[in-house]
Amino acid sequence: MPQLIDPFDRTISYLRVSVTDRCDFRCVYCMSENMTFLPKKELLTLEELDRMCSVFISQGIRKLRITGGEPLVRRGIMGFFENMSRHLGNGLDELTLTTNGSQLVRYADDLARLGVKRINISLDTLGAQKFKDITRWGDLRKVLDGIKAAKAAGIRVKINMVALKGTNEDELEDVIKWCADEDMDITFIEVMPMGDLGNEDRLDQYWALSDLRERLAKTWTLTDIPENTGGPARYVRLNETNQKVGFITPLTHNFCESCNRVRLTCTGQLFQCLGQEDEADLRKALRDNPDDNGPVIKAIRAAIALKPKGHDFSYDRQKVAGEMSRHMSHTGG
Ligand code: SAM
Ligand code: SF4
C-alpha cells in the first residue's frame, strides 16, 4: 500500500476535508457577522470530493474527518458520507466529522448507519443566552438535542470547547461535570489567529490553556496520558471522574514534530499546515484530467513533499503574530 511521507519523515495518514465554507452559525472567534462566502462554482462538487478523497485513500490516508464551515449544511452531504463509507475497512480506518451539532437530530441515525463511530461536537457554553452571544445565530436547545440524538444512535461524542477569556471561564467546572455525567470526553482549544473578525479582538478572547489546566488541578487530580494521536491535542485523565480531557494548545505548546495531517478545502486547495499560507491547487489537476488520477496523485505527492516543518503562531508581547488571513471555516478546523 502506498504511503505519503513528508520531508521531515512524518507519515501523513489523516486528511481533514472542509466540504463547505458556509455555516448556520457565526461564532465570534471564527467568523465576522457579515461573511462573504465562495461562489458555488468554485466549490468541488460532491462527486469531485469523492474522487479526490478516494485518491487520497489510495495513497495511504487512513482517517478522514469531514468538517467545514458546518459540514452538515451542505446539500447532499449524506450521499457523500454514504460514498465514503465504502472505503471503511478497505483502506480507511475511520470516517468521522466535526460539527456544531445543529443538524444532528436529523442525521445522527444515518451517520451511525454509515459507520461513523465518534464525532466531535463544538460547544463553548451551557448557557442559552451566552450560546447566542458566542454563535450569534445558534440555538443551544437544538445542539443539546443533537448531542442526545448522536448518543442514542450509539455514536461516541467528544465536546470541543474554545477557551474564551471572560466568556466561558466561569463555566469550566460545570462543563467538565456535565461531560462526566454524560460520559463524554472534552477537549479545550486555544483561540488561533485565523481570519479577520470585524470588531472582535483576538487578544481579548485568548485564554491560555496553561492557566485553564492550573484551575482544573485545583478541583481534580490530573494524570498525564502519554497518548499521541499525531495531532495537536495533549491529554490528561481526571482521576476522580475517569474522564479524558484534551488540550489543543498551538500557542503554548508547539505540536508540529508529530503532525500526521493535511487539510483539503472545499475548493480543492491542499493546506499542508494549518498555520502557514502554503497550499497546492489540486482542483486543477482533478478537473483537467477527468479520466486519469495519475496527475492528481502526482500533485498530491508534490504537495506533501513541500509540507513545512511547523507554524509560527504566537501572541508574544501582547500582539498577534503568524496570523492567517483565511478563516478557520475555510481550511476546516
Ligand atoms: N462548524 C463545525 C464546528 O464548529 O464544529 C466544524 C468547523 S469549525 C471551523 C471546527 C472547530 O474549529 C470548532 O471546534 C471551532 O470551535 C474551532 N475554531 C474555529 N475558529 C477557531 C479559532 N480562530 N481558533 C480556535 N478554534 C477555532
Ligand atoms: Fe460555524 Fe463552526 Fe465556525 Fe462556529 S466554529 S462559525 S459553527 S464553522
Task: Supply the pLDDT for residue 205.
Answer: 81
Least confident of 21-30, 185-194, 242-251, 323-332: 323-332
Residue 188 lies inside a defined structural domain of this protein: no
Residue 297 lies inside a defined structural domain of this protein: yes
Task: Supply the pLDDT for residue 84.
Answer: 98
* 106: pLDDT strictly greater than 80: yes
Ligand 1 pocket by Cβ (under 6 Å): 23, 29-30, 67-68, 70, 98-100, 122, 160, 162, 189, 191-192, 194, 328-329, 333
How many whole angstroms from 2 Cα to the centroid of ligand 1?
A: 31
How many whole angstroms from 85 Cα to the centroid of ligand 2?
A: 25
How many whole angstroms from 203 Cα to the centroid of ligand 1?
A: 17
Domain count for the chain, please give it: 1
Cα distances from 260 to residues 234, 270, 307, in angstroms, run 15, 14, 11
* Protein residue closest via CA to atom 11 of ligand 1: 333
**Which residue's C-alpha cell is 452571544?**
133
Percent with pLDDT over 70 in the chain: 87
Q: Does residue 276 or residue 49 have the better pLDDT?
A: 49
Q: Are 271 and 263 in contact (CB under 8 A)?
A: yes
Residue 326 lies inside a defined structural domain of this protein: yes
Average confidence (pLDDT) over 2-7: 94
Task: Supply the pLDDT for residue 4.
Answer: 97
* 155: pLDDT strictly greater than 80: yes
Give the integer Cα–Cα distance in Å for 83 and 42.
22
Residue 24 lies inside a defined structural domain of this protein: yes
Residue 241 lies inside a defined structural domain of this protein: no
Phi then psi dihedrals of residue 73, to 5 deg: -95, -5
Give the integer Cα–Cα distance in Å for 28 and 280.
29
Residue 41 lies inside a defined structural domain of this protein: yes
- Specify the long-range contacts of residues 217-221, CB closer than 8 Å, at least 24 apart: 219/173, 219/176, 220/176
How many whole angstroms from 290 Cα to the centroid of ligand 1?
A: 33
pTM over 0.75: yes
Q: Which helix (H) or strand (E) holds 247?
A: strand 243-248
Residue 230 lies inside a defined structural domain of this protein: no
Which of 244, 139, 145, 230 is closest to 187 using CA atoms?
244
Residue 107 lies inside a defined structural domain of this protein: yes
Task: Supply the pLDDT for residue 258.
Answer: 81
Domain boundaries, position 138:
14-161+257-331
**Confidence band, pLDDT 50/70/90 cuts, at residue 70:** very high
Which of 84, 44, 318, 55 is closest to 202 using CA atoms?
318
Least confident of 52-66, 79-93, 195-209, 265-279: 195-209
Find the helix packing angle between 209-219 and 172-181, rounded to 10°. 60
* 145: pLDDT strictly greater than 50: yes
Mean residue pLDDT of the chain comes to: 90
CATH for 308: 3.20.20.70
